[in-house]
Amino acid sequence: MATTRHIDLILINGYLEALDLAVIAQMLDLYIQQSALYLTAINHAVVTVDQKAWQEQCHKMKGAAASAGLTKVHQKLILIEKSAEDSEIKAQHLQALSLLNQQAISAFQQWFTEQ
């Protein structure tokens, strides 16, 4: 099942025990908004060849992904955060990250509909 590959069900189910579904929905909505901003900022870092901004934005998104239980996104960010590769490679990382992020959000939304 795709859901278990993309989200930390132990963490998310723990949230469910402590929080109302409406709060979890707000958390997901906030992550969706924030991740779009992070991806835009990461893209800007690629375009402007700004290593510091790349690391800072990847680091911020890594924390947000971990808090939201998006394991694949978090793992990808661990791998690329300190990357000093050229812009072409970083653009490829960003493309893969964007796809993983969308898949993880979809998996979380699928989990949510099953509750």
Number of domains comprising the chain: 1
CATH number at residue 18: 1.20.120.160
What is the C-alpha separation between 4 and 42, in angstroms, rounded?
27
Alpha-carbon torsion 82, 84, 90, 92, what sign? negative
Q: What is the pLDDT of residue 1?
A: 41
CB atoms within 10 A of CB 29: 10
Mean pLDDT of the chain: 94
Q: Give the domain range for residue 70.
A: 2-113
Residue 69 Rama label (left phi>0; alpha psi -120 to 50; beta): left
Question: Residues near 81 by Cβ (< 8 Å), separated by ≥ 6?
Answer: 55, 58, 59, 62
Section 36-56 average pLDDT:
97
Instruction: State the pTM of this model.
Output: 0.93
User: Mind listing the pLDDT tens digit for each residue in 29-39?
Assistant: 999 999 999 99
User: Mind listing the pLDDT tens digit for each residue in 93-103?
Assistant: 999 999 999 99
